[in-house]
């Protein structure tokens, strides 16, 4: 029988759905594994999104695309953290299967608008139009329907990683098309001169400012770098954070491998 599915039937963004419901959404960062297995593992472990980090890794765009397509078909949202604000990175990766872009080091509303322009079609943005969409299983649908659906489903995440960016959180949150203001705690602490001091009250004050800006403008506040500090993460969630990057796959593997080695070495020999 012919497939009568509509474009809307074929594409979902589980991350966006969970956030729209006001629930906590979790993303797994990928920095080392460049095969599709990692998308399957993230889904099996209960994550809502997978975030392929091309800023801090040497994973290729081709490998990122394959991971994204696998995630799409599993029902987990594929995000890609681009290495720069150059529009061609976002354009290519969205065409290849990503359903969201994470833009690092966004320090102003103008930079946020540039990211939106790269991720959204006209009239909101300037995203170039590809002829085939893995998001829709390469099926043909009316052009206006496809553009509207992809714009609605594509998540735009801007990272605030300096005190200057946090100072401008309100104007950044006001930018149409931005969905999540994601505070990178590790880089922010470095920029504040308190590297690794996640319990410092000055960091909490920075998160509070971002969370308040998000509430005023109907955006989502995010937190990264705090996966190993649950007591701090709890405070940020109470402030209003709803999008969390829980950590990266390599750190998880090392932690589990270390734990297993420690356990085995503690076993008695007799």
Q: How do residues 154-174 score in pLDDT, each as one tens digit?
A: 999 999 999 999 999 999 999
Calculate mean pLDDT across residues 55-83: 97
**pLDDT at residue 2, as a whole number:** 59
Residues 187-231: pLDDT tens digits? 999 999 999 999 999 999 999 999 999 999 999 999 999 988 999
From the list 151, 73, 159, 150, the residue with the least C-alpha distance to 111 is 159
Q: Is 56 a catalytic residue?
A: yes
Instruction: Give ∠ CA 238-47-11 in degrees, rounded to 5.
Output: 110
DSSP secondary structure string for all residues of 129-186: PPS--GGGTT----HHHHHHHHHHH-EEEEEE-SHHHHHTHHHHHTSTT--EEEEEHH
| pTM recorded for the entire structure | 0.94
Percent of the chain scoring above 90 in pLDDT: 93
Which of these is catalytic: 43, 56, 105, 182? 56
């Amino acid at each position: 029988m012919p497939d009568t599915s509509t474009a809307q039937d074929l594409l979902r963004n589980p991350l966006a759905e969970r956030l729209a419901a006001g629930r906590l959404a979790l993303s797994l960062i990928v920095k080392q594994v460049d095969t599709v297995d990692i998308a399957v593992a993230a889904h099996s472990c209960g994550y809502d999104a997978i975030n392929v980090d091309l800023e801090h890794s040497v994973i290729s765009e081709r490998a990122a695309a394959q991971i994204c397509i696998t995630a799409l078909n599993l029902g987990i949202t594929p995000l890609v953290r681009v290495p720069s604000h150059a529009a061609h990175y976002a354009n290519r990766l969205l065409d290849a299967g990503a359903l969201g872009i994470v833009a690092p080091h966004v320090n102003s509303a103008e930079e946020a608008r540039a990211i939106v322009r790269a991720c959204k079609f006209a009239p909101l943005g300037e995203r170039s139009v590809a002829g085939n969409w893995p998001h829709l299983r390469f099926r043909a649908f009316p052009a206006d329907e496809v553009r509207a659906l992809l714009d609605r489903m594509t998540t735009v995440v801007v990272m605030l990683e300096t005190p200057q960016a946090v100072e401008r959180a309100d104007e950044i949150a006001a930018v149409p098309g931005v969905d999540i203001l994601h505070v990178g705690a590790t880089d922010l602490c470095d920029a504040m001169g308190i590297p690794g001091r996640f319990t410092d009250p000055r960091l909490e004050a920075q998160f509070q400012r971002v969370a308040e800006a998000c509430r005023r403008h109907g955006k989502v506040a995010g937190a990264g770098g705090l996966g190993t500090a649950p007591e701090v993460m709890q405070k940020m969630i109470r402030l209003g954070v709803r999008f969390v990057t829980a950590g990266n796959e390599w750190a998880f593997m090392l932690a589990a491998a270390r734990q297993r080695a420690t356990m085995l070495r503690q076993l008695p020999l007799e």
